Amino acid sequence: MNRHRLLERFLQYVQIDTTARDGAEHYPSSAGQLELGRLLVEQLQALGIQAVQNEHGIVLATIAANVPQGDDLPVVALCAHLDTSFETSGAGVKPQVIYDYQGGDIVLPGAPDRVIRAADNPELDGLRGCTLVTSDGTTLLGADDKAGVAVIMEAVAWLMANPQIGHGPIRLVFTCDEEIGRGVEKLDLQQIGATVCYTLDGRGADEIDVETFSADLATVVIRGKNIHPSIAKGRMVNALRAAGALLARLPRDRLAPEATEGREGFLHPYEISGGVGEVNIKVLLRDFDTAKLAEQAELLRSEARAVMAEFAGATIEVQTRPQYRNMAEGLKREPRAVAYAQEALRRLGRTAKLTFVRGGTDGSRLTEMGLPTPNLSCGQHNPHSPLEWACLDEMVLAAQWLVELVQVWAEKSK
């Protein structure tokens, strides 16, 4: 695998601002995603791969089988998303490359008060001698998911340069707006035509995410009565105060992301806007048990009713909509998806760790839609944060994994 080329691709991709815009009516929600998509099409075509960017900004590419009766083999899709989280700026990313990391804390040069502390990142201790990449601390890095994009691009570049490596048909899919829950909104599974798909959107190395949260989004609208404060006595109903009361009533020692771990679910208010007359709050509902999302929604509605009783004249509406579902059940219907990924790592002398992720990927929705899609590691760490970092060595391992994986599918499917 070409480490230098992989690093150069990654550094090029993270410097394109592809921040998803929550609430945007158009798809994709930001122009940078179109820019990155166009670049990928150019690079894929330069490799001799048929690639297009469709009217929605999604990049689709096809690599033909190169083994006898290859067209009859299952189509394996590889997927990553172009956008980055809106929670931290992705504009003007200035990547810092740390060669031969020797351990200890990492000070970010653009914001010296921001430090990637070894105590908070215990995995750093096992990466001494590796090449790490961070931002300068004023933005996120964008390894979520440009590490995945770069890994896929390097893997297919290696396949194209080494035609003796036998594989069946491969489909590449680069989606938009995954970070705002719209990654597969414009995808046509028949157009992809794959038997299995793998998202490259995971932490560290050699992990297969086989279970994710199920997720709903709750939208809370609080309406008060606004009037000039000089004549407000007995007449004003301040929606901001009602919002504060509602947020204060939500659990903080349980059912909150800052108080939960493992398989514990949560309610997470993450965005608030408005004024005296009206306030809008967005709340993430998350649990591995899909049925518990309804319980969380009812808790939110119950607390809203209590606040309305406290603030006479205020009204609170709570609406929920599904976002994605736990991929575990869907993956059981196609056991080869995980088994062949494990076999590919065994052939490389490595052992896969089956994991669950306290979040979701495009793979959650794709699996729900009928395309089994486990998620694979690609060297990400601390996503959505200015303390985000990536490990080039883990990205190389991921690219090697993909090259072996498409061979396993071809050999075992004959």
**Catalytic residue set:** 83, 178
Locate tokens 């939208």: which residue?
Answer: 219
The sign of the dihedral angle between the CA atoms of 155, 161, 165, 169 is positive
- Give the gyration radius of the chain's Cα atoms: 23
Phi-psi sector, 118: left (phi>0), alpha (psi -120 to 50), beta:
alpha
**Interstrand relation of 214-223 and 278-287 (parallel, antiparallel or unpaired):** antiparallel
Residue with tokens 């991921």: 398
CA 397 to chain centre: 20
At 283, which helix (H) or strand (E)? strand 278-287
Please state, in angstroms and rounded to a whole number, the distance separating the CA atoms of residues 1 and 228. 67
Query: How far is it, in rounded angstroms, from Cα 93 to Cα 81?
Result: 18
**Strand intervals (E) in 41-131:** 50-53, 59-63, 76-81, 96-98, 106-107, 115-116
